[in-house]
Amino acid sequence: MTLLYLSSPARARIWQPMLQSALPEIPFWDGLEAVEDPAAVRFVACWTIPDDLSDRFPNIELLISVGAGVDQFDFDALPEGVQVVRMITRRIGEMIRDYVTLGVLALHRDLPTYLGQQRAAEWRAHTVPLARRRRVGVMGLGQLGLAALDALGNFGFQLSGWSRSTKALDGAKNYAGMAQLPDFLAQTDILVCLLPLTPETRGILNADLFDQLPEGAGLVHCGRGEHLDPGALLEALGTGQLGSVMLDVTNPEPLPPGDPLWSHPNVILTPHVATETDFAEGAEFCARVIRAHLAGAAIPGLVDKKRRY
Ligand code: NAP
Ligand code: GLV
């Protein structure tokens, strides 16, 4: 019974000693070349997997993503018996909380306008509403969306959140399912996207959705680039339907040189850095997952393979 690790050498340097001390009975094979017996591979920790993973390693039980998302996996190619796990660590939650706070406050206080004015050496003030008059809506109320709502509550924003299933939220209105999406959007001045990328959410940030927001709404997007229709985004920014946006993820990534988003005055762009996993925390999480699996206990971060998140 072994753990096959397929990720960066920097992460391996931290993971190998930690996992060997946490799970001494389970060998840690770093990379495909290290595999001595394909049939012994039961656990795979990786970001992406080779296409022929299940042919090569017929006895895999757990596929553990080294990131928060699992959309990089081809679920259709995974054998039924393989369980998929996403990474949940304190650092990911704390970093998303900071990023969303940064983005919402930046849009709330008109930062893109002032950055443009600074470049033009223009000294001009604009009035902004108080936070308690600004309505912020978060799409996706999982580990990260809830952390974001919690942080935004400190500023007094009028908060709401949209998820698949209904939730009782403290200090925020909940909207659930496609049927309530229009009502959620109609009352959202700044929209935050923290959805997972699934067949249902791919392309969800499109012209139809933007049109349902109040005119001049803001967008903070730190889900996945493929949630977003870039043409519709530029169009909505051009007409003023969207006021300004902060994007951590783009479609495609990296954003090609010359893409209009690089220089758009109403766009603040970061290169998919809202979070990063702490390697030591990740190794601890991986050990917890394997121990829970071996003990037949509930596995943290277990993904519903039908929903794909
Ligand atoms: P999670 O705990 O699995 O939560 C997902 C949330 O999205 C849940 O509230 C779920 O609703 C909702 N949802 C899923 N499909 C939906 C649909 N079709 N309609 C309405 N709501 C839907 O995920 P998480 O840990 O919070 O992470 C969310 C995503 O953030 C990740 O998948 C990844 O794409 C992104 N992310 C980005 C970065 C970055 O650096 N930019 C870093 C980490 C993660 P229910 O609660 O009703 O199931
Ligand atoms: C980053 O986007 C992750 O999924 O960890």
Q: Where are the beta strands (DSSP E) in 122-234?
A: 135-139, 158-163, 172-176, 190-193, 217-221
The three-state secondary structure class of 167 is coil
Where does 153-229 have alpha helices with state H? 181-186, 207-212
Domain that holds residue 199: 90-269
- Inside any domain, residue 49: yes
- Inside any domain, residue 309: no
In angstroms, rounded to a whole number, what is the distance separating the alpha carbons of residues 210 and 193? 13
Ligand located closest to 278 CA: 2
Q: How many residues does the chain have?
A: 309
Q: What is the pLDDT of residue 105?
A: 98
Q: Which of 97, 144, 219 to mutate to test the pocket of ligand 1 (most atoms within 8 A of CB)?
A: 144
Pair (200, 250) in one structural domain:
yes
Q: Which of 213, 247, 216 is nearest to 230 (CA)?
A: 247
How far apart, in Å, are the Cα atoms of 147 and each of 68, 92, 229, 278?
14, 10, 26, 18
- Inside any domain, residue 243: yes
Q: 90-108 vs 143-152: helix axis angle to the nearest 10? A: 50
Pair (67, 102) in one structural domain:
no
- Inside any domain, residue 53: yes
pLDDT tens string 234-245 = 999 999 999 999
Pair (44, 169) in one structural domain:
no
Pair (63, 187) in one structural domain:
no
pLDDT tens string 127-151 = 999 999 999 999 999 999 999 999 9
- The CATH number of the domain where 46 resides is what? 3.40.50.720
How far apart, in Å, are the Cα atoms of 19 and each of 4, 32, 68, 130, 279?
11, 18, 19, 49, 11
Q: Which residues are catalytic?
A: 224, 272
Pair (143, 27) in one structural domain:
no
Does the beta carbon of 145 sit less than 6 angstroms from any atom of ligand 1?
Answer: yes
Total number of domains constituting the chain: 2
- Inside any domain, residue 304: no
- Inside any domain, residue 101: yes
Pair (244, 287) in one structural domain:
no
Pair (135, 220) in one structural domain:
yes
Pair (168, 99) in one structural domain:
yes
Residue 69 CA, ligand 2 centroid: distance in Å: 5
- Inside any domain, residue 84: yes
Ligand located closest to 250 CA: 1
Residue 275 CA, ligand 2 centroid: distance in Å: 7
Residue 48 in this model has a pLDDT that exceeds 90 = yes
Pair (110, 189) in one structural domain:
yes
How far apart, in Å, are the Cα atoms of 114 and each of 3, 128, 237?
51, 12, 17
pLDDT tens string 233-281 = 999 999 999 999 999 999 999 999 999 999 999 999 999 999 998 999 9
| 177: region left, alpha or beta (phi > 0 left; psi from -120 to 50 alpha) | left
Report the predicted TM-score, pTM, of the whole model to 2 decimal places: 0.97
Pair (80, 134) in one structural domain:
no
Pair (99, 206) in one structural domain:
yes
Which residues, 6 or more positions from 83, have their beta carbon under 8 angstroms from its beta carbon?
61, 62, 63, 293, 299, 302, 303, 305
- Reported confidence tier of residue 193, pLDDT bands at 50, 70, 90: very high
Pair (255, 131) in one structural domain:
yes
In angstroms, rounded to a whole number, what is the distance separating the alpha carbons of residues 141 and 130? 25
